Copies of this chain bind each other. A is one copy, B any other.
């Protein structure tokens, strides 16, 4: 028996039976097995791997059922012709694997835009390997209700609903999810909507992309907050030459002259991105008044579920909007998990109809299995329970973080923050937060430098963001202490 064939690991992600199957399928399809020779008997294989014979018998049986193996009387198990026959067409030989292709065309010139040239936040993929991850937008596994999510997945994949989750919905959404958004999520924000005013999107990101595609031309005057959400700025700049930046104060977006000629204004009132300041009710009313007077559309990105650790949360702009000029964008990624890519938008019916038709061409719809699972998760109250749990955990971290910042970085400034999942910190004037981030990473401290959030060419370099949604509360104080030492070091 060729011992290169199968390596199994106990305690690995998959069962032993699964590992045996995977290794054999791989060897068969890669033609590493001689078809003339039987593969090892179940007894031999079991012995060689040190697993129970039943495990091997079950793995072999699955491969027989699926046509990978043939059992020949008295001679044992062989690789089936059928498995190989239709796997590799003869054409394969025609391909020249290692010859570099596409070097002849100048793709740099052929494409009409270069999104890859746009600066944007760089996320560290293996953030879990760092001791002090003050990073934003990933899931804290200690808070995620894995068992409940798995249970909903199991139920959603049930035979009774097979037709619902396997089908191409074309341009529709799962009616159960739309209902849950309408009944459970929007009322939290004071928003009442009909089903045809709601569109499920591939995350909030997809909603703002759809809105921009429909409403922004080359000359459209769009205005966003400065500092603001880099992805939004990138999307706007891919389409319009006329992107305005309006400053932010302690009440969020300022209603200055930048907005006067605006056709679209993008804002994040709940927790301004990245400063986390909350727009108070008076500013909200004033913004809506100005929108009416100057006749612009407001895109309200409520990317994070509302949290206010001090007062009642403020109602969404959309709930105060009598003109129907606010387009509301929400996300399920911050409560469920960002990898799920589920968000939604609420807007007048006529706009939703166009966004739905455009979404059909762009992606058709969010995967139907995930829509159904999320609908179940909401309908069973797991989502509301999760929000309560997150609110409690985040509030504690927010307090610990506030205290640690006051203690270790007393010279830094912070906006008054009553919610959200991060602090926006202004370091000493001479600080280069990009350099700080690099030095901190080497010490196991992950932070988000703030410069990327500014659209102006002459952006300050001394801001950074410390998020507390993914870091254990016990790590907060030591992490900030480490950071303060790095800041104090002469550079």
For A158, the chain B residues whose CB sits under 8 A away are 13
Given A101-B322, A314-B91, A324-B101, A361–B234 Cβ distance below 8 Å?
A: yes
Number of interface residues of A (CB under 8 A): 147
Do A387 and B86 touch across chains, with their CB atoms under 8 A apart?
A: yes
Partner of A94, one of B87, B319, B341: B319
Q: Is A167 an interface residue (CB 8 A)?
A: yes
Give Cα distance in the complex from A243 to B470, angstroms.
49
Given A115-B357, A146-B159, A202–B363 Cβ distance below 8 Å?
A: yes
Query: Could you show 5 A-B contacts with beta carbons less than 8 Å apart?
Result: A87-B384, A115-B358, A169-B339, A338-B364, A339-B368
Copies, count: 2
Q: How far is the CB of A376 from chain B (nearest CB, A)?
A: 8
Do A89 and B14 touch across chains, with their CB atoms under 8 A apart?
A: no
Q: Can you list, as one digit per residue, whether each of A104-134 has a CB less than 8 Å from chain B (1) or not (0)? A: 1101101111111010110101001000000
Do B184 and A338 touch across chains, with their CB atoms under 8 A apart?
A: no
Do A354 and B139 touch across chains, with their CB atoms under 8 A apart?
A: no
Give Cα distance in the complex from A33 to B384, angstroms.
17
Q: Is A490 an interface residue (CB 8 A)?
A: no
Give Cα distance in the complex from A183 to B67, angstroms.
20
Do A66 and B381 touch across chains, with their CB atoms under 8 A apart?
A: yes
Q: Can you list, as one digit per residue, whether each of A290-321 has a CB less than 8 Å from chain B (1) or not (0)? A: 00000001000000001000001111100111
Do A86 and B381 touch across chains, with their CB atoms under 8 A apart?
A: no
Q: Is A418 an interface residue (CB 8 A)?
A: no
Q: Is A272 an interface residue (CB 8 A)?
A: no
Q: How far is the CB of A143 from chain B (nearest CB, A)?
A: 11
For A138, the chain B residues whose CB sits under 8 A away are 166-168
Give Cα distance in the complex from A97 to B118, angstroms.
42
Do B101 and A321 touch across chains, with their CB atoms under 8 A apart?
A: yes
Given A155-B14, A362-B206, A370-B369, A83–B167 Cβ distance below 8 Å?
A: no
Residue of B nearest to A350 (CB): B107
Do A91 and B190 touch across chains, with their CB atoms under 8 A apart?
A: yes
Q: Is A481 an interface residue (CB 8 A)?
A: no
